[in-house]
Amino acid sequence: MDKKLGFLGFGILFGFALSRVGASDFDLILGMFLGADYTLIGVIGIAVVVGFIGMQLIKKFEQPTISGESLKISYKELKPWSLVGAGIFGLGWGISGACPGTVLAQLGEGKVFGFFTFAGMIVGTYIYARLKEERPEL
């Protein structure tokens, strides 16, 4: 299947699932960080376990990818600034009650303030692109 069409379909599935479990809900995200609601910890925990098992399975397939290519698993290198960036990301997560995926589900749900989180994310990414001109180590 065409990659773009396929990702459109997988995106719909992803957004639907995020919305259905309440990952796009401000209260569930804040509740997770305040130790008051464990729903999303359960979601992420199950997702990691299922993802891990699934990856072990496809590695055992004679053909781990449908095209016959060998698996190219992306490893995100840890740069010195990465952990600082992750801390900044966490602050944004706790303030907005959203992350880059769930804010998209919020948009689909018609949450008006989610649009501002989304716009902020585009601007934040733009700021990164500008910073990167002067500081290639980022």
Partner 1 sequence: MIATLLRTIFVDPWPFWAGGMIIGLLVPLLYYYYNTALGVSTGYGNLVKIFLPSRHLEWIKTKFPETWSWRVYFIIGIILGGFISSALAGNAGLTTEMGRFTDTVQWPGLLTAIYFFVGGVLLGLGARIAGGCTSGHSIHGLANLHISSMLASAMFVIGGIIAANLVRVTLLGGVW
Q: Binders of partner 1 among 82-121, rule CB under 8 A?
A: 82-114, 116-121
Q: How far is the CB of 78 from partner 1 (least distance, A)?
A: 4
Answer yes or no whether residue 134 interacts with partner 1 by CB under 8 A: no
Q: How far is the CB of 2 from partner 1 (least distance, A)?
A: 9
Q: CA 133 from chain center: how many Å?
A: 25
Answer yes or no whether residue 76 interacts with partner 1 by CB under 8 A: yes
Cα dist. 131→31, 125, 127, 134 in Å? 33, 10, 6, 6
Answer yes or no whether residue 60 interacts with partner 1 by CB under 8 A: no
User: Rounded to 5 degrees, what angle do the CA atoms 44, 46, 48 make?
Assistant: 65
Site for partner 1 in 3-42 (CB under 8 A): 3-27, 29-34, 36, 39-40, 42
Query: Applying CB under 8 A, what is the total number of residues that bind partner 1?
Result: 116
Classify the C-alpha dihedral 22-52-81-84 as positive or negative: positive
